[in-house]
Structure 1
Amino acid sequence: MSQISPIQALYDQCKKACTPVGIPPSSPVIQNLCSLMDKTSPADVGLREDNSDDDRCHGFLGHNSDDNFDMIARWDQSIKYLELHENESFTMCIFRMPKSTVMPLHDHPGMTVLSKLLYGSLNVKAYDWVEPACIQNSRGPGYRPVKLAKLVVDHVRNASSGTSVLYPKSGGNIHCFSAVTTCAAFDILTPSYREAAGSTCTFYLEYPYSSFPIADGASIIDGKEEDYAWLEVIDTPNSLCMLWGEYKGFTIKV
């Protein structure tokens, strides 16, 4: 009997445990998935660190598609999203980021996300909302309100780092990535994004805590001021350029 592949084992676990409303944070399946993902290598998902052609994606997703630019250079500097599998309960995918590219600050509403860096180095900066919610609405006409968030992590991960997990309300659900070197991350998201149901990715702009003083001079921070930021909802950044494809490097038995 042939040995089951690591990706097939992960798919089988997700199929059993994930539902259209996600997976309970206390579920032991999360640790099982982390253990399997920790052992996943680039070769397990058909990637080679030294060959971007292994991305094997097609199509283009971006907001500057009508601009005049060098398509070869654009391809080289684009973040590649490779879909391994998606249904309403979970998504398995790979993000490949060229050196110095940035995935802007964004969230995963109501979702649990497991992420394992397959190769390279990636700086992760992540926030969670302060509870109870603290919102500043008095910025003047034409300005959106800002909401207070607390820093969870701001560090560099590499291939030796264990699988990270974020939950709907903890673990750094609002985060941005900066590629220190060319890198690739293998992610499992549950449940999947569902735009028809209003489950969409939201982008944010961050401001230092001191930018918007609390009324009456009250302080609600616990710890260092630099561990807090005001976040403003913004439109999808024009600078974000992603190539979207379905990966063809192997087959998952569904």
Structure 2
Amino acid sequence: MPVQLGGGGKLAEPRARVDLSPTAVADKGRASSTRRNRRQKKKASPPLPPTPMQSLFDTSREVFSASSPGFVPPPDAVARLSAILNDLKPHDVGIDSNMPCFKHGDSKGPPRVTYLHFYDCAKFSFGIFCLPKSAVIPLHNHPGMTVFSKILFGSMHLKSYDWARSIPDNTTTSTLETSNGARLAKVNTDAVFDASAETVVLYPENGGNLHCFTALTPCAVLDVMGPPYNRADGRDCAYYSEAPFSSSCGEFLFSNPIYYSCWRDDQYSWLKEIPSTFEMKGIQMDRKFIV
């Protein structure tokens, strides 16, 4: 029998039946979970952009994917990797000038260069050269390699050469190589660079493939090289001595001091391979940025 409410009220509506069967409960749980997931997706933050080091690694891997001796990346790839390097700051790679590797610890000997090695494979490698003030990386080559160099802080003098392809004009020199093995090279760069300078790129045959660094202040330079040095493949690093080129005295012999009375051409030098006496301290860095 229906119940009559006082005061002229309406009859109470019967309650809806609740289905408590296992199937119904499971369906309700799934629906609730779906709604909850949708809400969480709406609230989820967008993915974080890659760190500068991750971007450097990813871009280097793409640029040097076809790397082999003599490989030259296309211009758009060179521009892309150079842009990544141009934007790098010391804190992006976890270094600063107060680190011990930028101090001259032994006043009795020349300042020692430290190499922070981040990554290498058959295609490319990259790392940071840490130079205390007055430290020198002697004149050396990069056989069959393309190299991107970016100064992160400090200032340094850079001198670079490419092998001469022809005899200079107005000279009595008739050969590009002397009897004692010295080769004629032309100056590519002879200037001071600091962190405001854009990335320097050298190529297997030009752009300053042979170069040397002299630190005017504590400084750091990041190099990306492809392909890396490989002694087993005959691409070891060679070091060179320099001697002035005289454009009026004929072939120059390193043992002949007569060149002092000759007119020099500062755009050229004789370079002769010498045994290596240069040593660096190498430190393997954490690779956790690589994914």
**Fold conserved between structures, TM > 0.5:** yes
Aligned with residue 131 of structure 1, among 162, 165, 177: 165
Q: Residues 238-253 of structure 1 correspond to what in structure 2 (within 5 A)?
A: 240-248=278-286, 251-253=288-290
**Aligned-partner Cα distance in 2 for 1:72–1:136:** 40
Residue aligned with 1:103, SS: strand
**1:210 positional shift:** 1.7
**1:99 positional shift:** 0.4
**1:73 positional shift:** 5.3
Query: Equivalent residue for 1:68?
Result: none
**1:6 positional shift:** 1.1
Please give the per-residue CA displacement for 1:164-201, whole angstroms capped at 9, x wherever unaligned.
10001111001111000010001100111111101111
**1:20 positional shift:** 3.9
Query: Equivalent residue for 1:236?
Result: 276
**Aligned-partner Cα distance in 2 for 1:232–1:212:** 20
Please give the per-residue CA displacement for 1:100-147, whole angstroms capped at 9, x wherever unaligned.
011111000110000110000010000001114843333xxxxx3111
Aligned with residue 28 of structure 1, among 62, 76, 79: 76
Aligned with residue 125 of structure 2, among 91, 106, 111: 91
**1:95 positional shift:** 0.1
Change (3 A) 1:208 1:120: same
Query: Equivalent residue for 1:218?
Result: none
Query: Equivalent residue for 1:183?
Result: 219
TM-score, normalised with respect to structure 1: 0.80
Q: Residues 66-145 of structure 1 correspond to what in structure 2 (within 5 A)?
A: 77-132=111-166, 134-138=175-179, 144-145=180-181
Q: Give the alignment's Cα RMSD to 1 decimal.
A: 2.4
**Aligned-partner Cα distance in 2 for 1:110–1:207:** 24
Q: Does 1:47 align with 2:99?
A: no
AA at the equivalent of 1:21: S
Residue aligned with 2:246, SS: helix
Aligned with residue 60 of structure 2, among 7, 10, 14: 14
**1:10 positional shift:** 1.4
**1:213 positional shift:** 3.8
Cα pair 2:148 2:200 within 8 Å, conserved:
yes
**Aligned-partner Cα distance in 1 for 2:243–2:109:** 31
**1:243 positional shift:** 0.4
**1:72 positional shift:** 5.4
Please give the per-residue CA displacement for 1:66-98, whole angstroms capped at 9, x wherever unaligned.
xxxxx8558992100111100010011000001
Structure having the larger proportion of residues in strand? 1
Q: Identify unmatched segments of 5+ residues in structure 2.
A: 1-46, 168-174, 252-263
Q: Does 1:3 align with 2:40?
A: no
Cα pair 1:99 1:183 within 8 Å, conserved:
yes
Cα pair 1:46 1:54 within 8 Å, conserved:
no
Cα pair 1:122 1:183 within 8 Å, conserved:
yes
The 4+ residue runs of structure 1 with deviation greater than 4 A are 71-76
**Aligned-partner Cα distance in 1 for 2:80–2:193:** 21
AA at the equivalent of 1:106: H
Higher mean displacement: 32-41 or 13-22: 13-22
TM-score, normalised with respect to structure 2: 0.71
**1:24 positional shift:** 2.4
**Aligned-partner Cα distance in 1 for 2:77–2:186:** 28
